[in-house]
Chain A
Amino acid sequence: MGLILKNVSKTFGNKKVVNNISFKLDKPGVYGLLGTNGAGKTTTIRMLLGIITKDSGEITWNGRPVSRESVNFGYLPEERGVYPKVKIYDQLMYFAELKGVSKDKAALAIENIAKKLKVTEYLQMPAEKLSKGNQQKIQFMTAIIHDPELVVLDEPFSGLDPVNTEILKNIIIDLVKHGKYVIMSAHQMATIEEFCSEILILNKGNTVLQGNLQEIKKSYPANRVQVDTKENIDKYIEGLDLTVENEHDYQYTIKIKDEKEAHTLLDKLIKDGIVVNKFEIMRPTLNDIFIEKVGE
């Protein structure tokens, strides 16, 4: 059950923008859809929302083919947009009504979500008077006002300040707690790591990596070590022929080929009585994996 995409493809003209992509969301949670610009994320999202038709493959929601009518979904598109001259409240009511929500329920939902997003004071203003960040929050409201089962968020945090990012994060966590399925596309890998257990990386329409994020990370060998000392340890690093990636105030990030090199370094430091405050062998971050997979 849930959302299943099986061998889905789409071609525009002679260009195959999505090639044989498959993934599934079988329990509530956040699924990460990653890729560089033009990788096929938005086309995939548009197909699974039924805005554009797929050329081949199968997309089902709870076992039934996906269409605009059959799935109660909410969508925050990458292309932000509001009616500039129309009052925020009227816009939200309009979209709620289009999604079949009664006026009373919509009014209640607007009140509640506006309170959470701290935009109540803007509800009676035309959208053009709001800052970009607040307009984005309004559009996020449009995506969830009808209490959708599946929420698709395309770059939800881009353009938001840290305070608003935090507010939005809490609402997304809340959505998952309430059993919602969320698909999120983002360029900030830290955000994806924070939210997603399952990910899919697209490159030029092809799936280059997919699966459980922790398992993916475990499958990669350790590639750096972090050492926090009280003095310069350059001579030890040079002696072992290691490369420093980053250093400030005797906090080193050092590239390693395997864990053995890190342990050899630690042995030498201890032997010479160097005080080591922190020593951590690190696996590649999602950012490293992403660059490795899609970097030219």
Chain B
Amino acid sequence: MRNIFTVMKFTMRDMLKRKSFIISTLIMLVLIIVGFNIPNIINSISDNPSMEHILLVDKDNIFEGNLSLLNNFDLNYDIEIADDTFNQIKEKIENDEIDSAIIIEKENNNIKIRYIVENTSIMSTVPEDLTSSLNALYSNIQIQKLGLTEEQLQLISPNFELVLEQTSNEEASGDVFVIMLISIVLFYAIYFCAYQVSSSITTEKTSKIIETLVTSTSPRNIVLGKTLGIGLVGLMQLILIVTTAYISAKVFIDQELLNSVLDMSNITIFLGVITIIYFILGYFTYALLYALTGSTVSKPEDVQQANTPIAFLSLIGFYLSYFTMMNPTSNLNLFVSLFPLSSPFCMPFRVMMGLDNPLYLVLSLVILIITILVIAKVTIKIYSSAILNYGTRLSFKDIINIYKDKKN
């Protein structure tokens, strides 16, 4: 046990001192801070970002002099009404007196709206909020002309109250965007941390230090100590990243805007604890599998190829979780939350959605822990024999033979 901690401490120190680790963590933190500042950056480089100066020209008096009523609509435009010609508008745009203009004119029996800007790009469209406001204004003018009563008006434009209901007893709630975000962060954190175990083991093998190491302590201590060390560093990195993101969101983003995009009301301490537990268990599942593949190769260039089957398993687990998220009360999603290769990505968001039936939660954890113990047993046995093999990469058949060999 003491040696597990010695290996763990050494692995942690080695990882934390690595330039690649320090630089990649710093880049991630900078990207997070910059990402949360994008709205502020856009605001600071734009002179008057919230108010586009637009000129409206009603050539054929279609709105009967009521265009100024658009100012009563909640529009983010500085609206000016004029009778300018196209050439005059062109000159004003070129002289930066206005940003854009709209010319409303009759063509045959239709009303044509011409939106004029200095340059059209692929992304340029006629502003939807303005056209729908013009539409509403025109309808109001025409309705008023008909002389309808208040009651008749309400009959024409009723306010439907939309309510979503279900027949199942299980009710899912929560912001899908937040759930997907957590699921993706969890997947990448588990995947990249676990991958480090494999490359760390192969590095020891290729640098030939392994021979000295296995005579100094048991393969069990090496595998477990290394897995724990890298996992702890990964957890610290994850906590650092999430904390930075949380603080950045609080400091740099307008809280109203943030709440409209991310509904954080379902994020509780319980969910945080469950997420960390599943991160740890999920990490152990994949890290031990990666330890197994890492011990079967002798050259660093073979690591990726050897790890491919495990990468596929993790992707299958993640996508099973991701796609069944759309229908969280389905039996398939329940299965995915119990299946050990996908449960780390699935169960936390079921908890977030309020689908944390204690029985299933405990069952999922028990299945995952048993799976980890089985994988650990197999990995340590294979590692003990495979780690001293310096020949070609061991095939799946070789690995099975090593496992079956009672002498090992």
* A residues with CB within 8 A of B: 46, 49, 51-53, 55, 68, 73, 75, 77, 79-86, 90, 94-95, 97-100, 139, 142-143
Q: Which residues of B have CB within 8 Å of A53?
A: 407-408
A68 touches B218 (CB 8 A): yes
Q: Which residue of A lies closest to B408 (CB)?
A: A53
A46 touches B388 (CB 8 A): yes
Q: How far is the CB of A183 from chain B (nearest CB, A)?
A: 13
- Cα A73 to Cα B216 with chains together (Å): 9
B218 touches A82 (CB 8 A): no
B6 touches A82 (CB 8 A): no
- Per-position 1/0 for B372-398, Cβ under 8 A of A: 000000000000010010100000000
- Cα A281 to Cα B75 with chains together (Å): 114
- Cα A203 to Cα B6 with chains together (Å): 40
| Majority DSSP secondary structure for residues of B touching A | helix
A79 touches B390 (CB 8 A): yes
Q: Which residues of B have CB within 8 Å of A143?
A: 212
A99 touches B388 (CB 8 A): no
B212 touches A142 (CB 8 A): yes
B6 touches A81 (CB 8 A): no
Q: Which residues of A have CB within 8 Å of B215?
A: 49, 51, 68, 73, 75, 77
B212 touches A95 (CB 8 A): yes
The 24 sampled A-B contact pairs (Cβ below 8 Å) are A52-B388, A53-B407, A55-B407, A73-B215, A75-B211, A77-B211, A79-B390, A81-B207, A81-B211, A82-B209, A83-B14, A83-B204, A83-B207, A85-B14, A86-B14, A94-B10, A97-B6, A98-B7, A98-B213, A98-B216, A98-B217, A99-B216, A100-B2, A142-B212
Q: How far is the CB of A251 from chain B (nearest CB, A)?
A: 44
Q: How far is the CB of A51 from chain B (nearest CB, A)?
A: 5
Q: How far is the CB of B107 from chain A (nearest CB, A)?
A: 74
Q: Which residues of A have CB within 8 Å of B207?
A: 81-84
* B residues with CB within 8 A of A: 2-3, 6-7, 10, 13-14, 17-18, 204, 207-218, 385, 388, 390, 407-408
- Cα A80 to Cα B206 with chains together (Å): 11
Q: Which residues of B have CB within 8 Å of A94?
A: 6, 10
Which of B17, B215, B388: most chain A CB closer than 10 A? B215
- Cα A213 to Cα B208 with chains together (Å): 33
Q: How far is the CB of B5 from chain A (nearest CB, A)?
A: 10
Q: Which residues of A have CB within 8 Å of B212?
A: 75, 77, 81, 95, 139, 142-143
Known: A51-B388, A79-B390, A85-B18. A95 touches B216 (CB 8 A): yes
- Cα A142 to Cα B210 with chains together (Å): 13
- Cα A77 to Cα B208 with chains together (Å): 9
- Cα A75 to Cα B213 with chains together (Å): 10
Q: Which residues of B have CB within 8 Å of A81?
A: 207-212
A79 touches B208 (CB 8 A): yes
Q: How far is the CB of B226 from chain A (nearest CB, A)?
A: 13
- Cα A143 to Cα B215 with chains together (Å): 10
- Cα A45 to Cα B66 with chains together (Å): 99
Q: How far is the CB of B224 from chain A (nearest CB, A)?
A: 14
- Cα A94 to Cα B212 with chains together (Å): 11
Q: Which residue of B lies closest to A86 (CB)?
A: B14
Which of A46, A83, A98, A100: most chain B CB closer than 10 A? A98
- Cα A269 to Cα B2 with chains together (Å): 75
- Cα A85 to Cα B209 with chains together (Å): 12
- Nearest 5 pairs of A and B residues by beta carbon: A81-B208, A81-B209, A77-B211, A98-B216, A79-B208
Which of B3, B210, B216: most chain A CB closer than 10 A? B216
Q: How far is the CB of B230 from chain A (nearest CB, A)?
A: 15
- Cα A48 to Cα B13 with chains together (Å): 33
Q: How far is the CB of A158 from chain B (nearest CB, A)?
A: 14
Q: How far is the CB of A134 from chain B (nearest CB, A)?
A: 16
